[in-house]
A and B are shown apart, each in its own frame.
Chain A
Amino acid sequence: MVRITALVLGFGLMAAPALADLKQAVEGQLTPGYAAFAKASADLAAAADKDCSPEAVKPAWNAAYDAWLAVSFFHLGPVEDDGRALAIHFWPDPKGLGAKAQRALLSGDAAALEPAAFADQSVAARGLMGLERLLYPDTPFEGDACPLIRATASDLARMASGVNADWPAYAATLLTAGEPGNTAFLSPQEALQALFTQGATGLEAIVDQQLGRPLGSFDKPHPERAESGAAGRSQRNVALMLQALRGFAAALDDKSVLTLAGLDRAVGLAEKLDDPAFAAVGDPQGHLRVEIVQQAVKAARDTMIAEMAPALGVDLGFNSQDGD
C-alpha cells in the first residue's frame, strides 16, 4: 500500500489538468449523453405503446438510435454491466442470430415477452437492431409483430434508464481517480488513459466495422453488410459516431488541433457522402468514395495517437496493442 501512496503523490503535479480534462469529457458529454438516450428510449417505448405500427414507431426509433450514437463509442462503466451495450446495439451479426431468435419469440409463448422474461432473452434478439428488423423487415415476419415491438422498445428503455441511473456512481469513480479508496483507477492519469483509449478504439471500430464490413475488398465488396442498411442510415450512423468522437476528443484536449482538424475532415466527408445505406460500395466509384472516408478516419486516429496521447501523457495499453 505504501507504494501506491507514493505514486499518487508523484502524480500530484499532473493531477489538476488531468482532472479538468476528465471532468470536461465526463460531465460535458457522457452524463448528458446517457440522460438524452434514456429520455429518447422512454419516448420510443411510449410511442410503441400508443401505436405499434412501424410507420408510427420509426421516428421515435430513429431518435433513440441517434441519441445512442452520441455515447455508443464508450465501453466502460454501467453500459458494460449485464451485457447492456451488447443488447442495446447487437451488430454485426453475420450468422443472423438476432433474426433467428426473434422468429422463435414471435411463434413462441407470449410469456417470454413479459419484461422480466424478455430481459433474459438473447442479446442478439433485443435492442435497436431487433427493432430495426421489425420496423424495416426485408421479408415480413409471420404473425403479429406488435407485442414484440412493444416488448423490445420497453426493454431498451429499461436498459437505457438503468445505464443512466448507474452512471453517476461510475462518473464519480472516474473523477476521484487516484484518491484513497478508489481501486479502479490508481491515478488521474489512468482514468485519462482509459478515456483516451475509448476515443481511439471508437475510431478504430468505425474503420474496421461500420466502414470496413461493407467495403470488404475492392474485388469483393459487401453492401449487404452495411450497418442498418435496412433503415437506410448506415451513412448517418458513421457521421453521428464521428461527431460524438470529435466532441469527446475536444473535451479531452482542445489544444490537439491537428487531431480535431482530422476529425472535422472525416465528419465532413461522411456527411456529404450521399450514400445512405452504403449501397454504392458495390460499384467502383461508390467504393472509392466510402474508402476515402475510411482513410480519413484512419488518419484522424493516427494523428490522435501521435499528437494527443503525448500531450495528455497517456498511451494505448502495452499488452493490448501488442500481445502474443
Chain B
Amino acid sequence: MATRRAFLAGLACASLPRLSWADAGSPAYLAAGKLGQDRFVLHGISAAGQSLFQIDLPARGHAAAAHPDRPEAVAFARRPGTFALVVNCVTGLVSHRLTPPEGRQFNGHGAFSADGSVLMTSEVIAEGSEGRVGLWDAATYTRIGEWASGGIGPHDIKRLTDGRLVIANGGIQTDPGDRTKLNIDTMRPNLTLLSPKGEILEQAELEANLRQNSIRHLALSGDDIAFAMQWEGDKAEPVPQLGLWRPGSAPRLCPPADADAFAMQGYAGSIAAAAGQIAITSPVGGVLIVFSDQGVPLVTLRRADVCGVARAESGFLATDGQGAVWSCTTAGLSPLSQQATAWDNHLIALG
C-alpha cells in the first residue's frame, strides 16, 4: 500500500487535470460486500478479479452506478435505502451523501445519463411502494426532480445508449419500515421504457399466470433488454427466470433446460450480458446459467452462494458470498481471487 499512499499524497499536492478512471487504478468493476459481522464495504475490482480499493459504507450496500467519464461511483444502500454515497474512486473519499426526499426510499439501483450530467435513482414512495425515478444534478448532487417509474416497487434501472431508460418495476409493495411483502396475491410487475425526458414510451407485462414473477434486474443485450425474475408463487411450479424484451414486441421467456427447471429455485439474483451470451445467477440454487443471447441455455455452472455477475473480457466475472471472484465461461468456473469480504448481490461493470 505504500505506493498507493505515496501516490495519494502526490495527488493532494499536485494540481492535476481532471481525473479519469485510469487514475483509480482502472478498476473494471465495483462490488459491495460484508466484512466480518457488521462492516459493510465497497470494493473496486480489476479486470483480473483482484481488489484494488476498499471503502467503508454506513450500512449494507446493494448496487452502484459508475459515472461515464469521471472516476466517480454512486453506491446505493440496500432497499429500503436511506443513503447513496458518491465515492471518488481515486482517493477513496466520499464526496457527497445523497438522502432521498421525505417519504421516498432508494431501491438499490441507479444510472447516469449518457452525458454524465444527471444521476437517476430507483425509488419508491414509502407508503404504497409506487415507483419514482429520482433526478439529481451530477455536478452538485442536488435533487432536481423526479419521474413516475410506471409501476410498483421499481428495482433495477438501465440507460440505453440512445438515452432512453428502462425500469424493472418488480410489482411488490413492501412495508415502509422493513421488507415485508404486502401484495403477493395481486402483484403485477412490468417493464417500462421512458424517454430521455421521462415520458412513458412503452410498457410490457407478463402473461397473467406469471404475474407473481417479479421482474427485478436488467442487462442490455444488443437490441434486447434481458430481464431476470424472482418467483413469488408456488415453488413447485417450474417458471423461467430469464426473459428478453425488444421494445415494440412482447417479452419472450427463456426457460432453462428441462433438467434444470428447478436449479435456480425460482430465484435470479443478478444478470449480465456479454458478447452474444447472457448469464443469470441464483445464490439460492447455487448455480449460474449461461444462455445464448437468443435465450437458449448453454451451460449450468454450480457454485454455492454465487450472485454477482458482470461481463468480462472473456465471458463473465462472478462473485460469491465466500469472498471468491470467478472467471466464468461456458467451459466452467475458475477462481481468480478470494478474500475476507463476502460479496453482496451485484458486481457492477464500469465503462
Contacts and interface: CB of A to CB of B under 8 A. Distances in A.
Given A86-B262, A208-B235, A320-B286, A190 B334 contact: no
Interface string B299-335: 0001111110000000000001110100000000111
Contact of B259 (A82, A194, A323): A82
Contacts of A190: 304, 322
A95 B304 contact: no
B79 interface: yes
A183 B337 CA distance: 11
Given A320-B284, A324-B62, 7 more contacts: A3-B339, A7-B339, A317-B286, A318-B283, A319-B269, A323-B267, A324-B345
Nearest to A120: B258
Nearest to B303: A184
Interface residues on B, range: 35 or more
Interface of A: 3-4, 7, 76, 80, 82-83, 86-87, 92-95, 122-123, 183-184, 186, 190, 193-194, 197, 208-209, 213, 317-320, 323-324
B199 interface: no
A250 to B, nearest CB: 23
A318 B305 contact: yes
Contact of A323 (B34, B284, B303, B324): B284
A324 B64 CA distance: 14
Contacts of B324: 186
B258 A320 contact: no
A319 B307 contact: yes
B305 A319 contact: yes
B237 A95 contact: yes
20 contacts: A4-B338, A7-B338, A7-B339, A83-B259, A86-B261, A94-B237, A95-B237, A183-B333, A186-B324, A190-B322, A208-B235, A213-B236, A318-B283, A318-B344, A319-B269, A319-B345, A320-B283, A320-B321, A323-B283, A324-B78
Nearest to B62: A324
Q: Chain B CB within 10 Å — which of A4, A183, A190, A319 has the most?
A: A319
Q: Chain A CB within 10 Å — which of B50, B322, B344 has the most?
A: B322
Contacts of B260: 83
A3 B46 CA distance: 14
B333 A194 contact: no
Contacts of A86: 259, 261-262
Given A83-B259, A194-B304, A319 B344 contact: yes
Contacts of A183: 333-335
A209 B236 CA distance: 9
A83 B321 contact: no
A213 B304 CA distance: 27
B330 to A, nearest CB: 16
The 9 closest A-B CB pairs, nearest first, are A83-B259, A317-B305, A318-B321, A319-B283, A319-B307, A320-B283, A92-B236, A318-B342, A3-B337
Contacts of A194: 304
Contacts of A319: 269, 283, 305-307, 320-321, 343-345
A83 to B, nearest CB: 2
Given A95-B237, A323-B284, A317 B259 contact: no
B237 A324 contact: no
